[in-house]
Structure 1
Amino acid sequence: MEKGTVKWFNGAKGYGFISRQGGEDVFVHHKSIVGEGYKNLNEGDQVKFEVENGPKGLQASNVSVIS
């Protein structure tokens, strides 16, 4: 698991980017956020996640907000 900060997330479109603590920013899709119902992230949220290769490059999976 890696940790990072939400750079931006567009709730209407359901995607955004996470700044990693030692690597390039990664794409995040709302389907990759852990939880039930409406899934959203806010700019500046601290998150933990896994990185995998997606169709357009690196993307985050199993994303959860660190409380």
Structure 2
Amino acid sequence: MPTGKVKWFDNEKGFGFLASDDGQEVFLHANALPAGVSEVKVGTRMEFGVADGKKGAQALSVRILDAPPSVAKSSRKSAADMAVIVEDLIKLLEHTANGLQKGKYPDKASGSKVAAVLRAVASDLDA
């Protein structure tokens, strides 16, 4: 079976193209992906069958060989570092909650800082 890499893939449209190792461009439809896989990233190595479609070569029965490494995961903070950040966030939120319990919202500058910290921590956890 031929092998190649995903050249591009549009998850919303459900199709893209593979660049086979022999230089051929092959159409890839989401229906050809393995069960449970609905999207792929550029650079993912695949093994696939090829059929001649109306507009050229088309990939069939794709098997993922290896996915490209995730940039987000490689730049992720360590779990120990995140534990310290979350503990500090809890203290910050407790301070904010104490003011709210007394009927006082934080001033605009403090509220913006708390919101920015929450967004940054959520982004780090979601990577």
Normalising by structure 1, we get a TM-score of 0.89
Report 1 or 2 for greater relative contact order, CA contacts < 8 Å, sequence distance ≥ 6: 1
Matched residue SS, 2:31: helix
**What is the match of residue 45 of structure 1?**
44
In structure 1, the gaps of 5 or more residues are none
Alpha-carbon RMSD: 1.2
The percent identity for this pair of structures is: 35
CA distance in structure 2 between the partners assigned to 1:20 and 1:50 by the alignment? 11
By percentage of residues, which structure has more helix?
A: 2
**What is the match of residue 13 of structure 1?**
13
Q: Deviations over 1:12-60 (max 9, x none)?
A: 0000000011131100000011113x51111000111011011211100
CA distance in structure 1 between the partners assigned to 2:63 and 2:40 by the alignment? 9
CA distance in structure 2 between the partners assigned to 1:50 and 1:41 by the alignment? 17
CA distance in structure 1 between the partners assigned to 2:62 and 2:54 by the alignment? 18
**What is the match of residue 24 of structure 1?**
24
CA distance in structure 1 between the partners assigned to 2:47 and 2:24 by the alignment? 15
By percentage of residues, which structure has more strand?
A: 1
Larger Rg computed on CA atoms? 2
Aligned residues: 66
The worse-fitting range, judged by mean Cα deviation, of 10-19 and 52-61 is 52-61
CA distance in structure 1 between the partners assigned to 2:8 and 2:18 by the alignment? 7
**What is the match of residue 2 of structure 1?**
2
Normalising by structure 2, we get a TM-score of 0.49
In structure 2, the gaps of 5 or more residues are 67-127
Matched residue SS, 1:66: strand
